Structure 1
Amino acid sequence: MNNIVPIPLSIGNTPIRKCDFLSEYFKTNIFVKDEFHNPGMSSKDRPAYFMIQDAIQRNRIQAGGTFVEASSGNTGLGIALIARQLGYKVKIFVSKSCSQEKIDKLEEAGASIELCDNSNGLQDFQSTQFRAQSFAAKEQNAYFTNQYYNTQNIRAHYRTTGPEIWEQTDGQITHFLCGIGTGGTISGVGRFLKEQAKAIRIWGVEPRGSILQHYLKHRTAPNAVRPFDAIEGIGRNFVPGSFDPQPIDQIFQVEKDVSIDMAQWYYQHTDIRCGFSSAAVLASLKCYSAAMRFHSDDNVLLFFPDHGSRYLSKLYAENSKVSTSNAHSLNG
């Protein structure tokens, strides 16, 4: 069997918009690529399709089998939407930190859910990754897509997201900024954009305490690994196989509380609810704008992988406006 699986849903070709508020605030041209326009409302639909297509083409799974993934929610939902339309079952292992909104969406899509203690990688027996791999190994006709080590994760963004960005910006993009979780987005997009113009800055964002900044600088994991700020969707205490440091120029670390404040600040000024990792990208702009040294004619693209509706209980539950105590620091 060597048939290409047709895309059953309209994935990709998501719009880019100029954000006048951020452009004026940071005195440069800031654009946002809104990935919530994908069917599963996230960028993870892209690698989900590529991983499913690859597995079927290579006969790694037979008709009616079960696709298995360890996910913070978005990749799992993309797999569920595509795989179930093709007649497959889906089982997703998520950590206890996964938002209830994502769990609800996974269940609505027909996925079977397993809650795990953490997502600390295959070396931890209670992690989403270990339990997903173990389940797939024991279950007949099951396939672990394994987004953290699947090369299709990078390929999806190299083949779709990167070219879209280059075309939509008429090749005028100067900076690309996105959160890093599995590493697939920044690796694939960064690789493509650097092939078009080496001067483009590829910048990543991760939570305080995550290890990928250290890995980028030293090409080795730190000797001591400590817990990192819980910003859903990004941050790692292991180096995923789908993380390619080669095209990345710098990684900025941000704090969870600052990211939450920035989500509310952005909503206050734009009436747009962004997701958690998108808020972390905003936090990096706020905290490191002096180091970023933008010029007035730069074209900075922020990658927003999903929508704030996935994080109402975590980002917007208590107050849809930024707290009075933090208003001065955010607007000063």
Structure 2
Amino acid sequence: MNVYETVAAAIGNTALVRLNAVTEGIEAAVYAKLEFLNPGGSVKDRAARSMIEAAESSGELAPGGTVVEGTSGNTGIGLAMVAASRGYRTIVVVPDKTSAEKVAFLRAHGAEVRVTEGARPTDHPDHVRNIARRIADETPGGWLAGQYDNPANIGAHYASTGPELWQQTGGRITHFVAGIGTGGTISGTGRYLKEVSDGFVTVVGADPLNSTYNGGDGRAYYIESIGHFLHPDSPEDIWPECYDRSVVDSILTVTDREAITTVRALARREGLLVGGSGGAAVAAALRLARTLPADATVVVLIPDSGRAYLSKYFDDDWVARLGFDDRTGDVAVTDLLGDTLDPLTVPSDATVAEALEVLGDRPELPVVLRRTPSSLVVAEIVGSVTRNDLIAANPTSVVTEHLSVPLSVVGAFESLGAAVKRIGADTRTVVVAESGIVSGLLSAGQLTDRSSGERSGR
């Protein structure tokens, strides 16, 4: 049995497991690198240890100091774990879409967690990374880990993840698949594998469909810790310095629905409880493997465990509300969309006068981050505006100054009864979501009237 002097020393050397049930019809071997077996529960433990050790060596982090980071959760957990074992204080800034489980893990390690709105442009003072930078500057002994641009992030995977995979496969690995977040994992691991194999190993990135890494428009998506979101008001799209594009041979895009479906299949068919980014990576790896011969060996990296997402991807109610499930009954919400209101939305930068023009005689509409009107995701809804409120407002003011609470959201494939129960006493316009995207608007009356008709047998 392995015995270690510290928790940091136990990071790495995670298991490689062959996928069997979800690889039906695939000739190539597909293996999953289970990074959730690290002490802190994710691949980010490797970067956390590497960055702290590098900062200690350089003198940037001194005894009694404070570790600060802006993160969606996993890097913060790794940093908090290593910091706790070495006597450092930890302050972590997370976006509000971070799962409740991750926030709880951070606090369990004694980290001070500050939650901020995630949908901020990069130059906004309250952007996650800007808040973290300010805290580090203002805190005596503060050190900002800066995972996105810290070379020790890449170095961790070049020194450990890559060599492990080469050794575990006996040099037979032909393809490496991983999600792209900060870029450190795929860049460091991929660089090592290409060097040791004389360029024989192919490195493939898995990326959310909307991410700018693959040329998407950067709109919001539902899978955490992967891809690159771009707020429409950001002055420029700044990519992490840790992402070495020259290492990645190709990128496969994965929809939220495909990632979530894969996550749930892995739990029920392989016994592997993995996070959303792992689901996206496996979905890409399986698609790739279907094109490869029997002598190919594909390794896909699983960044973290599904335990951190039980309230999201594994929660049937969450999945149903956002329309990521399948039809549940003979009559579903989507069957009413032939009578739907136009799926109009008000952009967040609109003036009151412009919003009133869009509203027309409608009582209210959702307000979304400024985007082109097609394929708006529910995650981009920032609130709602009502015609009555706007009529009394300054016509030149911005609608975000007059926001009401968001409208109720129901899944396209939910039964009418389930949808009526979900909206409760809310009589306002209802947003219908299919695979996380706004597919239409209904009046609450349309739902309740049709549901009553179904119950009475009409």
TM-score range with shorter-chain normalisation? Answer: 0.7 to 0.9
Tell me the distance in 1 between the aligned counterparts of 2:7 and 2:307.
25
| Alignment-derived partner of residue 248 in structure 1 | 248
2:223 is matched with which residue: 231, 249, 253? 231
Tell me the distance in 2 between the aligned counterparts of 1:285 and 1:305.
14
Tell me the secondary structure at the aligned position of residue 252 of structure 1.
strand
| Alignment-derived partner of residue 147 in structure 1 | 147
| Alignment-derived partner of residue 217 in structure 1 | none
Q: Note the C-alpha offset of 1:282.
A: 2.5
Q: Note the C-alpha offset of 1:230.
A: 2.7
2:285–2:300: 8 Å Cα contact kept in structure 1? no
- Once the two structures are superposed, the pairs formed by residues 1-332 of structure 1 within 5 Å of their partners are 8-118=8-118, 122-197=122-197, 198-214=199-215, 225-236=217-228, 237=230, 238-285=238-285, 288-289=287-288, 293-318=291-316, 323=325, 325=327
Tell me the distance in 2 between the aligned counterparts of 1:15 and 1:8.
17
Q: Note the C-alpha offset of 1:121.
A: 7.3
Structure 1 letter corresponding to 2:306: G
Tell me the distance in 2 between the aligned counterparts of 1:57 and 1:7.
19
1:278–1:303: 8 Å Cα contact kept in structure 2? yes
Deviations 1:125-157 (A, max 9, x none): 222111101111121110000000100000000
Tell me the distance in 2 between the aligned counterparts of 1:173 and 1:8.
28
TM-score by length of 1: 0.88
Call closer, same or farther: CA 1:25–1:119 in 2, change over 3 Å.
Answer: farther
| Alignment-derived partner of residue 330 in structure 1 | none
Q: Note the C-alpha offset of 1:171.
A: 0.4
Q: Note the C-alpha offset of 1:231.
A: 1.1
List gaps (5 residues or longer) in structure 2: 231-237, 329-458
Q: Note the C-alpha offset of 1:325.
A: 4.6
Per mean C-alpha deviation after superposition, the further-off stretch among 21-30 and 133-142 is 21-30
Q: Note the C-alpha offset of 1:199.
A: 1.9
Tell me the distance in 2 between the aligned counterparts of 1:120 and 1:146.
18
Tell me the distance in 2 between the aligned counterparts of 1:121 and 1:180.
20
Tell me the distance in 2 between the aligned counterparts of 1:83 and 1:134.
20
Q: Which has the higher contact order (CA 8 A, sep 6+)?
A: 1
Q: Note the C-alpha offset of 1:119.
A: 7.1
Deviations 1:77-127 (A, max 9, x none): 111111111111000010001000101100001000011112767533222
Structure 1 letter corresponding to 2:304: D
Per mean C-alpha deviation after superposition, the further-off stretch among 168-177 and 267-276 is 267-276
Tell me the secondary structure at the aligned position of residue 312 of structure 2.
helix
Deviations 1:46-99 (A, max 9, x none): 010011011111111221111001111111011111111111100001000100
Tell me the distance in 1 between the aligned counterparts of 2:16 and 2:248.
22
2:102–2:308: 8 Å Cα contact kept in structure 1? yes
1:136–1:143: 8 Å Cα contact kept in structure 2? yes
Q: Note the C-alpha offset of 1:285.
A: 4.0
Q: Note the C-alpha offset of 1:7.
A: 6.5
Tell me the secondary structure at the aligned position of residue 311 of structure 2.
helix
Tell me the secondary structure at the aligned position of residue 313 of structure 1.
coil
Deviations 1:142-186 (A, max 9, x none): 000000010000000000000000001000001100111000000
TM-score by length of 2: 0.64
Tell me the distance in 2 between the aligned counterparts of 1:254 and 1:97.
20
Tell me the secondary structure at the aligned position of residue 279 of structure 1.
helix
C-alpha RMSD of the superposition: 2.3
Call closer, same or farther: CA 1:25–1:124 in 2, change over 3 Å.
Answer: farther
**Percent identity (aligned):** 34
Tell me the secondary structure at the aligned position of residue 314 of structure 1.
coil
Tell me the secondary structure at the aligned position of residue 202 of structure 1.
strand
Structure 1 letter corresponding to 2:200: A
Q: Note the C-alpha offset of 1:9.
A: 4.1
